[in-house]
């Protein structure tokens, strides 16, 4: 159990800055997820915590200790990799025992830790097997087990589920979350998968180009993204973005773009006025589920947000439809509607947006106003 604090941490490779001023206190027992597209610096950050990469600048603390210059084996961390990195010539028991032997644990202590961990992970029947005689999911459990027996203060996991098929990945996701509750340790978990990030993390760190974009809970990241990058990275299908102009008319603030002319609710209008966004180009954002097709919403809708759209493509997800339109705004737009609506290409439909959920971004900086 320990806090992990990264204070203004940089990693430079020549003139490439892979991690740029990473500054964050990770709480004791927190499940923290680093998420972002490939190459954004997630693994490099984790590897610096592990001690597998030198820190170019800044301070790293685990517990109360500054560990920049402490060897990986003395940091009291354990790491689980995407590749599992099991020793092929050792059986499961020996793989799990290896790190403990190195640290001079007694045979009885090693044995009791392995038995207990194997029971938790449901791999007790596999202890005699070599890795090549295990399925991908079983190997993944052994890799976790090898980390758990060490009873480290901090677990570091780098895309540990990426090599598993979709079904197993979902199953392991909940297992790792349960394991975290049981072990009561700090976990730093790296993934490029936004669903993993949202379902597993107490807090999520969204990174792009070596820079932290936002640190927040799933709900906050989803409902209050700080910029257009975070808004588009989290959520599936993506948030819709429409570029257009705002105007003041009869005491209200309106937004117009190709195919729509909508009126902001008063509290949002006030924010737009106060920040000088009236009479300007902005990027308007709305998530696919905040666009409604049903008449009840459209008639009871307190907002001036109704528009007509022509259906281009329909993806049937079973319970709902992802409906794409081409005649609104500057790029394709998508709405999630009930499958019972039975929409088909070429239909013209009336839709309404829940403007209490909409977002406005600065057209140039892409920073969210709300
Ligand atoms: P992620 O895990 O988010 O996909 P990485 O942390 O692996 O990203 O990489 C971040 C950036 O640092 C990338 O641009 C990558 O090319 C660069 N990088 C990583 N390792 C090295 C290295 N050993 N030498 C030079 N550049 C590196
Ligand atoms: Mg990586």
Please tell me if the CB atom of residue 87 comes closer than 6 angstroms to any atom of ligand 1.
Answer: no
**Which atom of ligand 1 is closest in space to residue 40's alpha carbon?**
3
Per the structure block, which two tokens stand in for 155? 């677990």
pLDDT digit string (tens) for 152-189? 999 999 999 998 888 889 988 988 998 899 888 999 99
Q: Is the pLDDT of residue 296 over 70?
A: yes
Above 90 in pLDDT, residue 302?
no
Tokens 């976790």 belong to which residue? 144
Q: Three-state DSSP class for 332? A: coil
Cα separation, 240 vs 360, whole angstroms: 11
Q: The pTM is what?
A: 0.94
Residue 300 Cβ inside 6 Å of ligand 1? The answer reads no
- Mean pLDDT on 271-281: 98
Helix (H) or strand (E) holding 8: strand 4-13
pLDDT for the residue numbered 1: 62
For ligand 1, mutation pick of 35, 41, 52, 158 (most atoms within 8 Å of CB) = 41
Across the range 283-294, mean pLDDT stands at 95
Residue 242: the pLDDT is 97
In this structure, which residues have their CB less than 5 angstroms from ion ligand 2?
43
The answer to whether residue 261 scores a pLDDT higher than 90 is yes
Helix runs in the chain, H state only: 42-50, 92-102, 107-121, 136-148, 166-183, 194-200, 218-223, 228-233, 266-274, 295-300
198 pLDDT tier (thresholds 50, 70, 90): very high
Q: pLDDT digit string (tens) for 50-104?
A: 999 999 999 999 999 999 999 998 999 999 988 888 999 999 999 999 999 998 9
- Residue 55: how many other CB atoms lie within 10 Å: 19
Write down the pLDDT at residue 120.
Answer: 87
Tokens of 209: 């180009």
Task: Return d(Cα 195, Cα 243) in angstroms, integer.
Answer: 28
- What pLDDT, in 10s, does the model give residues 329-352? 999 999 999 998 889 999 999 999
Query: Phi and psi dihedrals of 195, rounded to 5?
Result: -70, -45
User: Among all chains, which residue has been given the structure tokens 């978990």?
Assistant: 189
């Amino acid at each position: 159990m320990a806090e992990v604090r990264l204070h203004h941490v940089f990693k430079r490779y020549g003139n490439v800055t892979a991690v740029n001023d990473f500054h964050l206190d990770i709480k004791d027992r927190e499940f923290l997820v680093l998420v972002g597209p490939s190459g954004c610096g997630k693994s490099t950050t984790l590897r610096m915590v592990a001690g597998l990469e030198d820190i170019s600048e800044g301070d790293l603390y685990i517990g109360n200790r500054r560990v920049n210059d402490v060897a990986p084996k003395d940091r009291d961390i354990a790491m689980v990799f995407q590749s599992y990195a099991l020793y092929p010539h050792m059986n499961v028991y020996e793989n799990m025992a290896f790190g403990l032997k190195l640290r001079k644990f007694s045979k009885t202590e090693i044995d009791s830790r392995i038995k207990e961990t194997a029971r938790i992970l449901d791999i007790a029947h596999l202890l005699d097997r070599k890795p090549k005689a295990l399925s991908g999911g079983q190997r993944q459990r052994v890799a976790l087990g090898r980390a758990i027996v060490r009873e480290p203060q901090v677990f570091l996991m780098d895309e540990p589920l990426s090599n598993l098929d979709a079904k197993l990945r979902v199953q392991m996701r909940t297992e790792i979350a349960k394991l975290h509750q049981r072990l009561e340790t700090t976990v730093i978990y790296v993934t490029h998968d936004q669903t993993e990030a949202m379902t597993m993390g107490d807090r999520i760190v969204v990174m792009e180009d070596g820079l932290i974009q936002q640190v927040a809970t799933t709900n906050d990241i989803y409902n209050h993204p700080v910029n257009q990058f975070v808004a588009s990275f989290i959520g599936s299908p993506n948030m819709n973005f429409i570029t257009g102009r705002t105007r003041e008319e009869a005491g209200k603030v309106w937004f117009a773009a190709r195919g729509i002319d909508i009126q902001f609710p008063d509290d949002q209008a006030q924010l737009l006025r106060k920040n000088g966004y009236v009479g300007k180009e902005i990027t308007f954002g709305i998530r696919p589920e905040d666009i409604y097709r049903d008449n009840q919403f459209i008639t009871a809708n307190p907002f001036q947000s109704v528009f007509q759209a022509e259906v281009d493509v329909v993806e049937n997800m079973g319970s709902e439809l992802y409906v794409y339109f081409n005649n609104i705004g500057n790029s394709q737009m998508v709405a999630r509607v009930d499958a019972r609506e039975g929409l088909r290409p070429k239909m013209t439909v009336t839709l309404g947006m829940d403007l209490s959920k909409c977002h406005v971004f600065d057209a140039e900086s892409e920073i969210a106003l709300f």
